[in-house]
């Protein structure tokens, strides 16, 4: 065994956000020795303390248990001391944020800050793998930075993550593919393959893709772009179905039966989160940079924003533009169920619009109330956070459903109707059945299907 092989069982993960901590805990669960690093700031220290205490610094199903187990058995720890973590590692993973800059490009400041620290402290022959979603060319630029800062041989690699919030552990433990982008496939490909081997056991050979750094970076961008594109298409067709008599639930089933068409066919109030909005903007920026025809790309972001705000428009139209004094209950504040993440969520667009036009909002989310309060504020008279979904609808003029959380996908319709001032429901996630809603006496505007009005019948 060469010294690099010995060191390769020791991994440093820079950044303890979604990607970093999930990847770190999963690698530790396979017996690797993992040290996660965050910044020496009060927030960074707080996350490090939580991890070392065996707790998850974010809301993610199963993560607390995995961290607890791997910290207890000594395979996982966290620190704010980058030099200590990096010095002893054969493989360093960069998993820091790359938020959108104003021009749509991804801001790589944190990636290069991490790379500079790594250049200084890494062991010779260390692999430095970028898991953050970065602009095409970043891995090569990291390599150039290394050459300018150190005489040590370091191997920059692109190794994008494909985890989705809410299923992050399963996505990492059973990856749909592992992509490795390197100019030294013999050396680096072999060492990276060894690290990911326990996750690829019993899997087809083509689940591991070794390519050059640019292709690997492009795989990540294209994966999110294709999925986002499908959601935009889905939401556009769903909007048509609301007008032309088609029922998108049937259209979805009929379309999804074509195996060439993927699974991202559920309509909703636009896509949110930290990935699709940012990566679609980054792809559009790349097209402009390369001088590639990008007219249709330019419209995607605005279309997705429309798919969010149109749920405000629907409500405003229902009340003839007169929202003053109306109480609107909102179920769902996060960008999707199973997470406390509210980044770019529909609620963050719609609630301020409702408030601005004089409506009061009573919001409920099973996981994301605290994070939403940080963005939308707390203690205002026109926005209250309810203790449960039924409390939220008490005396409400209407209910708007923005996420399909398990907590409320089978609500008691009689109880709902009894609590509401008027039985009016706008459902941007298809959690209700229109027939049942009509029978139960509701006015019901679902996504991708026409309105039913059972108020007279009941
Ligand atoms: C997404 C990708 O799914 C991951 O593969 C990728 O690794 C990740 O971004 C990333 O780049 O790190 P995530 O943002 O966690 O993961 O969530 P998704 O489940 O993909 O949902 C994104 C948005 O699309 C949500 O607002 C969701 O409600 C919406 N969506 C999803 C729909 O409206 N319809 C669908 O059929 C699917």
Dump pLDDT digits (tens) for 20-54.
Answer: 999 999 999 999 999 999 999 999 999 999 999 99
Q: What is the four-CA torsion angle of 271, 275, 276, 278, rounded to 10 degrees?
A: 110
Distances (CA, A) of 158 to 9, 91, 133, 191, 204: 19, 12, 9, 13, 21
Which sequence positions are flagged as catalytic? 275
Answer whether 332's CB lies under 8 Å from 429's CB. Answer: yes
Residue 448 backbone class (left: φ over 0; alpha: ψ -120 to 50; beta: rest): left
- In ligand 1, which atom is closest to the CA atom of 403? 28
Beta bridge partners of 238: none
**Whose C-alpha lies nearest to ligand 1, atom 4?**
164
Answer whether 304's CB lies under 8 Å from 270's CB. Answer: yes
Ligand 1 centroid–CA 227 distance in Å is: 8
- Report CA torsion sign: 142, 144, 150, 152: positive
Distances (CA, A) of 255 to 139, 154, 226, 234, 329: 38, 48, 16, 10, 33
Q: What is the pTM of this model?
A: 0.94
Ligand 1 centroid–CA 74 distance in Å is: 33
- Are β-strands 33-37 and 10-14 bridged in parallel, bridged antiparallel, or unpaired? parallel
Mutate to test the pocket of ligand 1, among 95, 336, 346 (most ligand atoms within 8 A of CB): 336
The pLDDT score that the predictor gives to residue 228 is: 97
Ligand 1 centroid–CA 425 distance in Å is: 25
Answer whether 312's CB lies under 8 Å from 350's CB. Answer: yes
Listed as ranges, residues in the chain with pLDDT below 70 are 1-5, 457-458
Contacts of 289 (CB under 8 A, 6+ apart): none
**Whose C-alpha lies nearest to ligand 1, atom 5?**
162
Measured from CB, residues less than 6 Å from any atom of ligand 1 are: 133, 161-165, 224, 227, 231, 264-266, 268, 271-273, 275-276, 335-336
Coil, helix or strand for 257? coil
Provide the b/e sequence for 299-330 (b: ≥16 CB within 10 Å): ebbeebebbbebbbebbbebbeeebeebbbbb
- In ligand 1, which atom is closest to the CA atom of 228? 24
Answer whether 267's CB lies under 8 Å from 242's CB. Answer: no
Mutate to test the pocket of ligand 1, among 161, 163, 164, 401 (most ligand atoms within 8 A of CB): 164
Spatial CA neighbour of 266 closest among 244, 299, 233: 233
Distance CA 271, CA 65 (A): 29
Q: Please give the radius of gyration of the chain, using alpha carbons only, rounded to the nearest integer.
A: 24
- In ligand 1, which atom is closest to the CA atom of 160? 7
The pLDDT score that the predictor gives to residue 7 is: 83
- In ligand 1, which atom is closest to the CA atom of 270? 33
Instruction: Provide the 8-state DSSP code for 35.
Output: E
The pLDDT score that the predictor gives to residue 1 is: 43
Answer whether 17's CB lies under 8 Å from 97's CB. Answer: yes
Provide the b/e sequence for 135-172 (b: ≥16 CB within 10 Å): bbebbbbbbebbeeeeeeebbbbbbbbbbbbbebbebb
- In ligand 1, which atom is closest to the CA atom of 335? 26
Using CB atoms within 10 A of its CB, is residue 222 exposed (0-12), middle (13-18) or buried (19+)? middle
**Whose C-alpha lies nearest to ligand 1, atom 28?**
336
Ligand 1 centroid–CA 140 distance in Å is: 28
Ligand 1 centroid–CA 164 distance in Å is: 6
Interhelix angle 276-290/295-318, nearest 10 degrees: 140
Percent of the chain at pLDDT exceeding 90: 91
At 316, which helix (H) or strand (E)? helix 295-318
């Amino acid at each position: 065994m060469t010294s690099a092989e010995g060191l390769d069982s020791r991994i440093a993960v820079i950044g303890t956000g979604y990607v970093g901590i999930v990847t770190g805990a999963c690698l530790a669960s396979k017996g690797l020795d993992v040290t996660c690093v965050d910044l020496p700031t009060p927030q960074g220290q707080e996350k490090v303390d939580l991890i070392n205490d065996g707790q998850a610094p974010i809301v993610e199903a199963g993560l607390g248990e995995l961290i607890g187990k791997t910290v207890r058995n000594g395979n996982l720890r966290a620190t704010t001391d980058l030099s200590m973590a990096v010095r002893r590692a054969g493989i360093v993973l960069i998993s820091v944020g790359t938020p959108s800059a104003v021009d749509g490009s991804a801001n790589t400041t944190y990636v290069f800050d991490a790379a500079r620290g790594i250049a200084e402290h890494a062991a010779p022959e260390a692999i430095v793998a970028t898991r953050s979603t970065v602009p095409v060319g970043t891995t090569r630029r990291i390599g150039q930075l290394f050459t300018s800062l150190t005489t040590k041989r370091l191997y920059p690699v692109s190794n994008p993550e494909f985890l989705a919030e809410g299923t992050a552990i399963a996505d990492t433990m059973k990856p749909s593919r592992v992509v490795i982008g390197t100019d030294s496939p013999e050396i680096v490909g072999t060492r990276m393959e060894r690290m990911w081997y326990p996750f690829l056991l019993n899997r087809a050979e083509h689940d591991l893709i070794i390519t050059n750094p640019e292709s690997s970076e492009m795989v990540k961008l294209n994966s999110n772009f294709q999925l986002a594109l499908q959601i935009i298409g889905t939401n556009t067709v769903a909007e048509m179905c609301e007008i032309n008599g088609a029922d998108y639930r049937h259209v979805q089933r009929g379309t999804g039966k074509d195996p060439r068409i993927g699974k991202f066919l559920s309509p909703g109030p636009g896509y949110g989160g930290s990935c699709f909005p940012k990566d679609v903007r980054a792809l559009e920026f790349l097209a402009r940079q390369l001088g590639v025809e990008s007219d249709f790309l330019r419209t995607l972001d605005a279309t997705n924003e429309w798919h969010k705000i149109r749920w405000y428009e629907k409500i405003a139209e229902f009340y003839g533009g007169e929202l003053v004094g109306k109480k609107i209950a909102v179920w769902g504040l996060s960008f999707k169920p199973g997470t406390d993440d509210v980044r770019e969520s529909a609620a963050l667009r719609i609630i301020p619009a409702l408030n601005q036009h004089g409506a009061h909002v009573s919001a409920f989310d099973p996981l994301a109330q605290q994070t939403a309060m940080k963005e939308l504020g707390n203690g205002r008279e026109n926005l209250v956070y309810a203790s449960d979904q039924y409390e939220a609808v008490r005396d409400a003029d209407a209910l708007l459903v923005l996420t399909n959380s398990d907590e409320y996908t089978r609500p008691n319709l009689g109880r709902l109707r009894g609590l509401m001032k008027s039985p009016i429901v706008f459902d941007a996630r298809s959690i209700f059945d229109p027939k049942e809603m009509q029978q139960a006496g509701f006015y019901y505007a679902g996504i991708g299907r026409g309105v039913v009005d059972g108020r007279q019948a009941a």
